Chain A
Amino acid sequence: MLELRLVQGSLLKKVIEAIKDLVTDANFDCSATGLSLQAMDSSHVALVALLLRSEGFEHYRCDRNISMGMNLNNMSKMLKCAGNDDIITIKGDDGGDTITFMFESPNQDKISDFEMKLMDIDSEHLGIPEAEYHAIVKMPSSEFSRICKDLSSIGDTVVISVTKEGVKFTTRGDIGTANIVCRQNKTIDKPDEATIIEMNEPVSLTFALRYLNSFTKATSLSESVTISLSSDLPVVIEYKIADMGYIRFYLAPKIED
Protein backbone atom coordinates (compact mmCIF):
# COMPACT_ATOMS: atom_id res chain seq x y z
CA MET A 1 0.00 0.00 0.00
CA LEU A 2 1.26 3.39 -1.03
CA GLU A 3 -0.30 6.74 -0.24
CA LEU A 4 1.57 10.01 -0.61
CA ARG A 5 -0.25 13.30 -0.09
CA LEU A 6 1.51 16.39 -1.36
CA VAL A 7 -0.17 19.67 -0.39
CA GLN A 8 1.92 21.70 -2.82
CA GLY A 9 0.95 19.62 -5.85
CA SER A 10 2.52 22.14 -8.21
CA LEU A 11 5.94 20.86 -7.13
CA LEU A 12 5.26 17.46 -8.68
CA LYS A 13 3.91 19.10 -11.84
CA LYS A 14 7.09 21.20 -12.13
CA VAL A 15 9.39 18.23 -11.46
CA ILE A 16 7.83 16.18 -14.25
CA GLU A 17 7.92 19.09 -16.70
CA ALA A 18 11.61 19.58 -15.84
CA ILE A 19 12.64 16.01 -16.69
CA LYS A 20 10.18 14.66 -19.25
CA ASP A 21 12.11 15.90 -22.27
CA LEU A 22 15.35 14.37 -21.00
CA VAL A 23 13.98 11.00 -19.91
CA THR A 24 11.08 9.12 -21.52
CA ASP A 25 10.47 6.32 -19.02
CA ALA A 26 11.68 6.03 -15.45
CA ASN A 27 11.25 3.96 -12.32
CA PHE A 28 10.01 5.90 -9.30
CA ASP A 29 11.39 4.23 -6.19
CA CYS A 30 9.36 4.63 -3.05
CA SER A 31 10.82 3.79 0.37
CA ALA A 32 10.58 5.04 3.95
CA THR A 33 13.08 7.79 3.00
CA GLY A 34 10.96 9.23 0.24
CA LEU A 35 10.17 9.14 -3.42
CA SER A 36 13.25 8.99 -5.64
CA LEU A 37 14.20 8.49 -9.22
CA GLN A 38 17.41 7.97 -11.12
CA ALA A 39 17.36 7.85 -14.90
CA MET A 40 19.67 8.47 -17.82
CA ASP A 41 18.82 10.05 -21.14
CA SER A 42 18.75 7.69 -24.12
CA SER A 43 22.33 8.48 -25.14
CA HIS A 44 23.68 7.84 -21.60
CA VAL A 45 25.31 11.27 -21.45
CA ALA A 46 23.07 12.89 -18.85
CA LEU A 47 21.42 11.58 -15.71
CA VAL A 48 18.68 12.96 -13.50
CA ALA A 49 18.45 12.12 -9.81
CA LEU A 50 15.36 13.22 -7.90
CA LEU A 51 14.58 13.00 -4.20
CA LEU A 52 11.36 14.06 -2.53
CA ARG A 53 11.80 13.23 1.16
CA SER A 54 8.94 11.63 3.06
CA GLU A 55 8.89 14.53 5.57
CA GLY A 56 7.89 16.89 2.77
CA PHE A 57 4.58 15.07 2.29
CA GLU A 58 1.61 15.83 4.52
CA HIS A 59 0.86 12.13 4.65
CA TYR A 60 3.36 9.46 3.63
CA ARG A 61 2.60 5.77 3.72
CA CYS A 62 4.85 3.29 1.97
CA ASP A 63 4.55 -0.18 3.52
CA ARG A 64 7.40 -1.70 1.56
CA ASN A 65 9.97 -0.53 -0.96
CA ILE A 66 8.35 -0.34 -4.35
CA SER A 67 9.57 0.60 -7.80
CA MET A 68 7.01 1.97 -10.23
CA GLY A 69 7.81 2.31 -13.92
CA MET A 70 6.15 5.32 -15.50
CA ASN A 71 6.12 6.96 -18.89
CA LEU A 72 6.85 10.59 -18.07
CA ASN A 73 4.94 11.94 -21.03
CA ASN A 74 1.81 10.12 -19.89
CA MET A 75 2.40 11.24 -16.31
CA SER A 76 2.72 14.82 -17.55
CA LYS A 77 -0.59 14.54 -19.41
CA MET A 78 -2.31 13.46 -16.21
CA LEU A 79 -0.63 15.98 -13.92
CA LYS A 80 -1.50 18.81 -16.32
CA CYS A 81 -5.12 18.09 -15.35
CA ALA A 82 -4.32 19.15 -11.77
CA GLY A 83 -4.67 22.81 -10.88
CA ASN A 84 -1.59 24.61 -9.65
CA ASP A 85 -3.12 24.99 -6.18
CA ASP A 86 -4.39 21.42 -6.01
CA ILE A 87 -3.34 18.88 -3.43
CA ILE A 88 -2.03 15.76 -5.18
CA THR A 89 -2.27 12.30 -3.64
CA ILE A 90 -0.49 9.34 -5.24
CA LYS A 91 -2.04 5.96 -4.44
CA GLY A 92 -0.89 2.49 -5.37
CA ASP A 93 -1.25 -1.12 -4.30
CA ASP A 94 1.66 -3.51 -3.81
CA GLY A 95 2.16 -5.42 -7.02
CA GLY A 96 -0.51 -3.43 -8.81
CA ASP A 97 -0.07 -2.45 -12.45
CA THR A 98 -1.65 0.99 -12.10
CA ILE A 99 -1.22 4.09 -9.98
CA THR A 100 -3.84 6.67 -9.10
CA PHE A 101 -3.32 10.41 -8.94
CA MET A 102 -6.00 12.20 -6.93
CA PHE A 103 -6.35 15.96 -7.26
CA GLU A 104 -8.22 18.04 -4.67
CA SER A 105 -8.95 21.72 -5.19
CA PRO A 106 -7.91 23.90 -2.21
CA ASN A 107 -11.50 24.35 -0.98
CA GLN A 108 -12.35 20.68 -1.61
CA ASP A 109 -15.12 21.47 -4.10
CA LYS A 110 -13.55 19.44 -6.91
CA ILE A 111 -11.96 16.03 -6.54
CA SER A 112 -10.61 14.11 -9.52
CA ASP A 113 -8.81 10.84 -9.84
CA PHE A 114 -6.73 9.62 -12.74
CA GLU A 115 -5.52 6.05 -12.99
CA MET A 116 -2.35 5.52 -14.98
CA LYS A 117 -0.92 2.25 -16.26
CA LEU A 118 2.51 1.34 -14.93
CA MET A 119 5.18 -0.27 -17.07
CA ASP A 120 8.13 -2.60 -16.59
CA ILE A 121 11.36 -0.69 -17.10
CA ASP A 122 14.66 -2.47 -17.10
CA SER A 123 16.82 0.46 -16.14
CA GLU A 124 20.52 0.62 -15.46
CA HIS A 125 21.17 2.09 -12.01
CA LEU A 126 24.49 3.88 -11.74
CA GLY A 127 26.47 4.11 -8.53
CA ILE A 128 27.39 7.75 -8.04
CA PRO A 129 30.25 8.08 -5.55
CA GLU A 130 30.47 10.92 -3.05
CA ALA A 131 33.04 13.31 -4.46
CA GLU A 132 35.04 16.36 -3.52
CA TYR A 133 34.58 18.94 -6.23
CA HIS A 134 37.26 21.37 -7.43
CA ALA A 135 34.77 24.20 -7.55
CA ILE A 136 31.17 24.80 -6.50
CA VAL A 137 29.28 27.77 -7.92
CA LYS A 138 25.94 28.86 -6.51
CA MET A 139 24.10 31.42 -8.60
CA PRO A 140 20.54 32.60 -9.33
CA SER A 141 18.84 29.89 -11.37
CA SER A 142 17.31 32.50 -13.70
CA GLU A 143 20.79 33.88 -14.45
CA PHE A 144 22.15 30.44 -15.29
CA SER A 145 19.16 29.77 -17.53
CA ARG A 146 19.64 33.10 -19.32
CA ILE A 147 23.33 32.38 -19.93
CA CYS A 148 22.67 28.90 -21.36
CA LYS A 149 19.93 30.24 -23.63
CA ASP A 150 21.96 33.21 -24.82
CA LEU A 151 25.07 31.18 -25.55
CA SER A 152 23.17 28.46 -27.41
CA SER A 153 22.23 31.02 -30.07
CA ILE A 154 25.96 31.37 -30.83
CA GLY A 155 27.52 27.95 -30.26
CA ASP A 156 26.75 24.32 -29.44
CA THR A 157 29.18 23.83 -26.56
CA VAL A 158 30.15 25.90 -23.54
CA VAL A 159 33.41 25.95 -21.65
CA ILE A 160 32.75 26.57 -17.96
CA SER A 161 35.91 27.78 -16.22
CA VAL A 162 36.23 28.65 -12.56
CA THR A 163 39.16 30.72 -11.37
CA LYS A 164 39.54 33.10 -8.46
CA GLU A 165 38.31 35.84 -10.83
CA GLY A 166 34.91 34.17 -11.10
CA VAL A 167 33.07 31.70 -13.30
CA LYS A 168 33.41 32.14 -17.05
CA PHE A 169 31.08 30.72 -19.71
CA THR A 170 32.60 30.67 -23.20
CA THR A 171 31.18 29.57 -26.52
CA ARG A 172 32.30 29.70 -30.11
CA GLY A 173 30.30 29.36 -33.30
CA ASP A 174 30.23 30.27 -36.98
CA ILE A 175 29.25 33.89 -36.26
CA GLY A 176 31.83 34.52 -33.54
CA THR A 177 32.60 33.96 -29.86
CA ALA A 178 31.07 34.92 -26.53
CA ASN A 179 32.39 35.14 -22.97
CA ILE A 180 30.26 35.77 -19.91
CA VAL A 181 32.01 36.18 -16.56
CA CYS A 182 30.07 36.10 -13.29
CA ARG A 183 31.98 37.33 -10.29
CA GLN A 184 31.30 36.44 -6.69
CA ASN A 185 28.55 38.69 -5.38
CA LYS A 186 27.42 38.03 -1.84
CA THR A 187 24.20 39.98 -1.50
CA ILE A 188 23.53 39.64 2.21
CA ASP A 189 19.91 40.85 2.25
CA LYS A 190 18.93 38.81 -0.82
CA PRO A 191 20.77 35.47 -0.55
CA ASP A 192 18.88 34.02 -3.54
CA GLU A 193 20.43 36.65 -5.79
CA ALA A 194 23.99 35.97 -4.64
CA THR A 195 26.70 34.32 -6.69
CA ILE A 196 29.01 32.36 -4.42
CA ILE A 197 32.11 30.63 -5.70
CA GLU A 198 33.93 28.05 -3.60
CA MET A 199 37.11 27.03 -5.36
CA ASN A 200 39.68 24.49 -4.21
CA GLU A 201 41.49 24.59 -7.53
CA PRO A 202 40.81 26.12 -10.95
CA VAL A 203 38.76 23.92 -13.27
CA SER A 204 37.67 24.18 -16.88
CA LEU A 205 35.28 21.78 -18.60
CA THR A 206 33.33 21.67 -21.88
CA PHE A 207 29.65 20.73 -22.12
CA ALA A 208 26.93 20.44 -24.74
CA LEU A 209 24.59 23.44 -24.34
CA ARG A 210 21.66 21.36 -25.55
CA TYR A 211 21.69 19.37 -22.30
CA LEU A 212 22.29 22.37 -20.05
CA ASN A 213 19.30 24.10 -21.65
CA SER A 214 17.21 21.02 -20.97
CA PHE A 215 18.24 21.09 -17.28
CA THR A 216 17.16 24.72 -16.94
CA LYS A 217 13.55 23.56 -17.30
CA ALA A 218 13.86 23.04 -13.53
CA THR A 219 14.46 26.78 -12.97
CA SER A 220 11.01 27.44 -11.51
CA LEU A 221 11.67 24.89 -8.73
CA SER A 222 14.40 26.92 -7.08
CA GLU A 223 15.66 30.50 -6.94
CA SER A 224 19.26 29.31 -7.05
CA VAL A 225 21.24 26.59 -8.76
CA THR A 226 24.47 24.91 -7.66
CA ILE A 227 27.04 23.85 -10.25
CA SER A 228 29.70 21.42 -8.96
CA LEU A 229 32.74 20.90 -11.16
CA SER A 230 35.75 18.60 -11.08
CA SER A 231 38.13 18.00 -13.93
CA ASP A 232 37.63 14.23 -13.79
CA LEU A 233 33.88 14.02 -13.16
CA PRO A 234 30.54 14.85 -14.76
CA VAL A 235 29.20 18.26 -13.71
CA VAL A 236 26.35 18.27 -11.19
CA ILE A 237 23.66 20.90 -11.63
CA GLU A 238 21.44 20.91 -8.56
CA TYR A 239 18.10 22.60 -7.97
CA LYS A 240 16.92 22.32 -4.37
CA ILE A 241 13.22 21.66 -3.92
CA ALA A 242 12.07 23.70 -0.92
CA ASP A 243 12.16 21.60 2.30
CA MET A 244 11.69 18.40 0.30
CA GLY A 245 14.82 17.40 -1.54
CA TYR A 246 16.45 18.08 -4.84
CA ILE A 247 16.64 17.47 -8.53
CA ARG A 248 20.21 16.87 -9.70
CA PHE A 249 21.38 16.64 -13.28
CA TYR A 250 24.71 14.99 -14.10
CA LEU A 251 26.32 15.67 -17.46
CA ALA A 252 29.46 14.02 -18.85
CA PRO A 253 31.91 16.56 -20.27
CA LYS A 254 33.13 16.73 -23.83
CA ILE A 255 36.82 16.20 -24.45
CA GLU A 256 39.04 17.31 -27.31
CA ASP A 257 39.06 14.62 -29.96
Chain B
Amino acid sequence: TPSASDVLLTEDAVRRYLIRKPMTTKDLLKKFQTKRTGLSSEQTVNVLAQILKRLNPERKNINDKMHFYLTE
Protein backbone atom coordinates (compact mmCIF):
# COMPACT_ATOMS: atom_id res chain seq x y z
CA THR B 1 0.00 0.00 0.00
CA PRO B 2 1.53 3.34 -0.99
CA SER B 3 2.06 5.85 1.77
CA ALA B 4 1.58 9.59 1.45
CA SER B 5 5.29 10.09 0.93
CA ASP B 6 5.43 7.84 -2.13
CA VAL B 7 5.59 9.21 -5.65
CA LEU B 8 2.26 9.02 -7.48
CA LEU B 9 2.14 8.40 -11.20
CA THR B 10 -0.71 10.71 -12.16
CA GLU B 11 -1.65 12.77 -15.18
CA ASP B 12 -1.15 15.90 -13.13
CA ALA B 13 2.37 14.92 -12.09
CA VAL B 14 3.35 14.11 -15.69
CA ARG B 15 1.84 17.38 -16.92
CA ARG B 16 3.85 19.37 -14.39
CA TYR B 17 7.11 17.76 -15.48
CA LEU B 18 6.42 18.30 -19.19
CA ILE B 19 5.50 21.95 -18.69
CA ARG B 20 8.79 22.49 -16.88
CA LYS B 21 11.03 21.02 -19.59
CA PRO B 22 11.09 18.59 -22.54
CA MET B 23 11.65 15.00 -21.46
CA THR B 24 12.31 11.66 -23.13
CA THR B 25 10.41 8.52 -22.19
CA LYS B 26 13.46 7.54 -20.17
CA ASP B 27 13.50 10.84 -18.30
CA LEU B 28 9.86 10.32 -17.36
CA LEU B 29 10.42 6.73 -16.28
CA LYS B 30 13.23 7.96 -14.05
CA LYS B 31 10.79 10.28 -12.28
CA PHE B 32 8.39 7.41 -11.63
CA GLN B 33 10.72 4.59 -10.66
CA THR B 34 8.92 1.44 -9.57
CA LYS B 35 10.64 1.45 -6.20
CA ARG B 36 9.17 4.89 -5.50
CA THR B 37 5.65 4.35 -6.90
CA GLY B 38 5.15 0.74 -5.82
CA LEU B 39 3.88 -0.11 -9.32
CA SER B 40 5.27 -2.95 -11.43
CA SER B 41 7.30 -2.19 -14.56
CA GLU B 42 4.36 -3.26 -16.72
CA GLN B 43 1.90 -1.09 -14.80
CA THR B 44 4.25 1.88 -15.05
CA VAL B 45 4.58 1.51 -18.82
CA ASN B 46 0.83 1.04 -19.30
CA VAL B 47 -0.22 3.92 -17.07
CA LEU B 48 2.38 6.28 -18.50
CA ALA B 49 1.35 5.37 -22.05
CA GLN B 50 -2.30 6.12 -21.25
CA ILE B 51 -1.40 9.42 -19.64
CA LEU B 52 0.76 10.49 -22.58
CA LYS B 53 -1.99 9.57 -25.04
CA ARG B 54 -4.43 11.73 -23.09
CA LEU B 55 -2.04 14.65 -22.69
CA ASN B 56 -0.98 14.42 -26.34
CA PRO B 57 2.19 16.46 -25.70
CA GLU B 58 4.19 18.28 -28.36
CA ARG B 59 7.26 16.41 -29.58
CA LYS B 60 10.66 17.59 -30.69
CA ASN B 61 14.06 16.09 -31.26
CA ILE B 62 16.89 17.29 -29.05
CA ASN B 63 20.28 15.67 -29.61
CA ASP B 64 18.57 13.13 -31.88
CA LYS B 65 16.26 12.02 -29.08
CA MET B 66 12.52 12.51 -29.12
CA HIS B 67 11.33 14.71 -26.25
CA PHE B 68 7.79 15.45 -25.10
CA TYR B 69 6.77 18.84 -23.79
CA LEU B 70 3.68 20.84 -22.96
CA THR B 71 2.99 24.54 -22.96
CA GLU B 72 0.64 26.11 -20.42
Our verdict on whether A and B bind, yes or no, reads no
Residues of chain B touching chain A, judged by Cβ–Cβ distance below 8 Å, are: none
Residues of chain A touching chain B, judged by Cβ–Cβ distance below 8 Å, are: none
